[in-house]
């Protein structure tokens, strides 16, 4: 079946790669799995043989007759953006070969959800996966958002020739595990507002980006930075998650 470019479809057709994903997911008979974008069902069928239940979402109506032949799944011809995550069991897992353009949205929605999954096993563009697990000095807004909620690691890469049609870039399987962290004592929305302001002009010094992004005088920004022990001449990507946490505390304590 021809892929729909508008949906960003690249079907994983390599059986060995599919098996490696299932093994990496460590899915067992007590697990409920949400698969986003079931496609032709190659991964879906293998998950259905191991999981307690597979909830398969597929927006492309052409795929539904194929997926209906797979026993042991609950199938929804639905967009993930409209799916009710609160309908899932506590501790559910998400396993998906995601359209590249949906990656950030899917991760953000799942991690920010009140009904948060216990684990995300996602096949995504390698460059994006590397950004998520990047070390301090190379951080991004996405990496900080993930880091607030979870730990992440890249499991393995998959070459373009394992897909139909082949994408132009490599993909990586990334595992994201939500976990309790002290940073979560800080308000997430306020923290991300601060982070986004810092990254609003990445090539500028942090103090200038924050001043512009938050519409605050540079003197006040410098006070926050000094209180947090952060060099305002750095760039936003040079700060670690804990640095942003200290900066937010300093901002809260020194804003009239």
Q: How far apart are CA 220 and CA 243, in angstroms?
A: 17
Of 140, 158, 179, the position where a domain reaches its end is 179
The rounded Cα 234 to chain-centroid distance in angstroms is 26
> From CA 56, how far away is CA 63, in angstroms rounded?
11
Pair (104, 158) in one structural domain: yes
Q: Classify each residue of 185-202 as buried b or exposed e, where b means 16 or more C-beta atoms within 10 Å of its C-beta.
A: ebeeeebbebbbbbbbbe
The CATH number covering residue 197 comes to 1.10.8.100
Instruction: State how far the alpha carbon of 8 is from the alpha carbons of 11, 76, 212, in Å.
Output: 10, 19, 36
Q: Is 136 found in the same domain as 64?
A: yes
| 203: containing domain | 185-253
pLDDT tens readout for residues 50-84: 999 999 999 999 999 999 999 989 999 999 999 99
Q: Are 170 and 154 in contact (CB under 8 A)?
A: no
The verdict on 118 and 215 lying in the same domain is no
Cα separation, 106 vs 95, in Å, equals: 12
CA distances (Å), origin 128, targets 104, 154, 247: 9, 11, 26
200 and 139, same structural domain? no
Q: Is 204 found in the same domain as 159?
A: no
The count of domains in the chain is 2
Helices (H) and strands (E) in the chain, counts: 10, 9
Beta bridge mates, 222 = none
CATH assignment at residue 64: 3.40.50.150
C-alpha dihedral, 204 to 209 to 212 to 214, nearest 10°: 170
What contacts 58, CB < 8 A, 6 or more positions away? 37, 38, 39, 64, 67, 75, 76, 77, 78
Q: Which of 146, 179, 212 is the last residue of a domain?
A: 179
Q: Is 196 found in the same domain as 98?
A: no
Q: Do 206 and 173 sit in the same domain of this protein?
A: no
Question: Which of 164, 179, 194 is the last residue before a domain boundary?
Answer: 179
- Give the pLDDT confidence score for residue 1 in this predicted structure: 67
pLDDT, tens only, 75-104: 999 999 999 999 999 999 999 999 999 999
Higher pLDDT pick, 256 / 204:
204
Q: How confident is the model at residue 241 (pLDDT cuts 50, 70, 90)?
A: very high
What is the pLDDT averaged over residues 161-186? 97
Give the angle 192-196-202 at the CA atoms, nearest 5°: 145
- Out of 24-28, 47-51, 228-232, 251-255, which region has the weakest mean confidence (pLDDT)? 251-255
């Amino acid at each position: 079946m021809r892929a729909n470019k508008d949906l960003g479809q690249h079907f994983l057709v390599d059986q060995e790669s599919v098996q490696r994903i299932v093994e990496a997911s460590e899915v067992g008979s007590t697990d409920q799995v949400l698969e986003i974008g079931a496609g032709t069902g190659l991964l879906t069928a293998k998950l259905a043989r191991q999981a307690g239940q597979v909830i398969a979402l597929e927006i492309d109506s052409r795929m539904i007759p194929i997926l209906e032949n797979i026993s042991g799944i609950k199938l929804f011809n639905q967009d993930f953006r409209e799916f009710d995550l609160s309908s899932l069991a506590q501790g559910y897992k998400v396993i998906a070969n995601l359209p590249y353009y949906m990656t950030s949205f899917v991760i953000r929605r799942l991690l920010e959800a009140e009904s948060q999954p216990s684990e995300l096993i996602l096949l995504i563009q390698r460059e994006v996966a590397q950004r998520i697990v990047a070390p301090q000095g190379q951080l991004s807004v996405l990496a900080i958002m993930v880091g607030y909620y979870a730990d992440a690691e890249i499991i393995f890469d998959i070459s373009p020739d394992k897909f139909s049609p082949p994408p132009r870039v490599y993909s990586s399987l990334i595992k994201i595990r939500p976990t309790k962290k002290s940073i979560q004592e800080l308000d997430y929305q306020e923290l991300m507002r601060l982070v986004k302001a810092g990254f609003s002009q990445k090539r500028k010094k942090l103090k200038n980006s924050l001043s512009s992004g938050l519409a605050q005088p540079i003197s006040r920004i410098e006070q926050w930075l000094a209180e947090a022990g952060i060099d305002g001449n750095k760039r936003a990507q040079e700060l670690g998650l804990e640095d942003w946490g200290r900066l937010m505390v300093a901002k809260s304590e020194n804003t009239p």
